[in-house]
Amino acid sequence: MTSVKTLEVDILIVGAGPVGLYGAYYCGERSLSCAVVDSLSEVGGQVTAMYPEKQIYDVAGFPAITGRELVRGLAAQASQRDPSYLLDQEAQQLEKLDDGRFRVTTTRTEVVAGAVIVTGGIGTFTPRTLPAGEEFLGRGLAYFVPSSQEYVGRDVLIVGGGDSAIDWALMLEPLASKVTLVHRREQFRAHGASVEKVRQLDVDMITNAQVTELQGDRVLERAVVSVKGEDEPRVVEVDKVVAALGFTANLGPLREWGLELADNRHLVVDTAMRTSLPGVFAAGDITEYDGKVRLISVGFGEVATAVNNAAVYLDPTAHVFPGHTSNEPHDVPVPA
């Protein structure tokens, strides 16, 4: 069991989506130490989880940019002052300490912060599970592919019909011994051109099908696939299954933080992005106020407002206006 680490920072940002990442950058501009926590193992929030390949046309300054490129740019921008990323951990409890700071406990870390900015979007993302295979989680079944190493030379089954399933099929086909793709429907939701690429490869695509069972002794050995219209299920020899069935999001623990909620899903904020709890701010899709419009560009403005007001909360002698960034030299990282 991993022991819990403790981290002290000026600002804890809850949620590493586009707005959280931009907030981390602004903390750097204000010379405030910052940590960003997210339950997913990658940054990018809704954009990375739901539409990394799609073109986005309404981000200020970019006539068109893919979700993936936007997240890459934001992460590079944020890296200028080296924020701490606490990924793959869900922020669970929030308490106010006697010295006025906040202690936020995640599944693996205890963070003590002077102020908190909640950029939680639509809540914690958890992968949709593959009901037929839960017992093999960690023993052959995975919901993510953090590294392709363990798939080299293996028989892999990918379940899903969206961009993630198709992308992983493309990534693993040259490395794996065999790749089979199983999707519940006839049509794939993924980007047409990518689906075409998969059709050209030696990937066995089984549509109108569902995995009804995973079998094996200590390790995964085979998958039973039921195909619509076929009486007998097919048995596929596999040692790895990747379930790319999308995510569901839920505010979960955030609802218990004692913050004023609207419609049971949004945090009410004022014009300085303050929530009902002094020292806790919010920005992005999770906020609610008269006239709120849930756009990425709106979120960017809100988190800049939140960080600069949090700076004054932490030091009442500070100015809410950060100064013109062009007046200072910046070591600008080039996106990877």
Interacting residues with other proteins (CB under 8 A): 49-50, 122-123, 125, 128, 185, 187, 189, 246-251, 255, 263-265, 285, 294
CB of 270 to other proteins, least distance (A): 21
Of 98 and 186, the one with the shorter C-beta distance to other proteins is 186
Q: Distance between CA atoms of 175 and 262, rounded to whole angstroms?
A: 49
**Cα 213 versus chain centre, distance:** 29
Shortest separation between residue 162's beta carbon and other proteins, angstroms: 9
**Interatomic CA distance for residues 16 and 25, integer angstroms:** 12
Which one, 127 or 322, has the nearer CB to other proteins?
A: 127
Enclosing H/E stretch for 122: none
3-state secondary structure of 282: strand
| CA 306 distance to own-chain centroid | 21
DSSP-assigned letter for residue 271: T
> Nearer Cβ to other proteins, position 114 or 123?
123
Nearest by Cα to 30 from 114, 95, 106: 114
Of 84 and 126, the one with the shorter C-beta distance to other proteins is: 126
CB 145 within 8 A of CB 168: yes
Closer to other proteins by CB, 234 or 255: give it: 255
Task: Compute the least distance from the CB of residue 295 to other proteins, in Å.
Answer: 11
Which residue type does 63 have? P
Give the whole-angstrom CA distance, residue 225 versus residue 209. 6
Contact 168, 159 (CB under 8 A): no
CB of 56 to other proteins, least distance (A): 13
Alpha-carbon distance of 199 to 219, in angstroms, equals 30
Cβ-based nearer residue to other proteins, 24 or 71: 71
Other beta carbons within 10 angstroms of residue 50's beta carbon come to 18
Q: What is the DSSP letter of 237?
A: E
Distance between CA atoms of 180 and 71, rounded to whole angstroms? 30
> What tokens were used for 153?
């030379």
For residues 49 and 198, which CB has a smaller minimum distance to other proteins in the complex? 49
Helix (H, G, I), strand (E, B) or coil at 204: strand
Residue with tokens 């199983």: 182
Q: How far is the CB of 247 from other proteins (least distance, A)?
A: 6
CB of 8 to other proteins, least distance (A): 33
Q: Nearer to other proteins by C-beta: 28 or 45?
A: 45
Radius of gyration of the chain (CA): 22
Q: Residue 244 CB, nearest distance to other proteins (Å)?
A: 13
Question: C-beta of 68: minimal distance to other proteins in Å?
Answer: 17
Helix, strand, coil shares, percent, the chain, to 5? 25, 30, 45
- Which residue number, 83 or 121, has a Cβ lying nearer to other proteins? 121
Minimum distance, C-beta of residue 30 to other proteins, in the bound complex (Å): 31
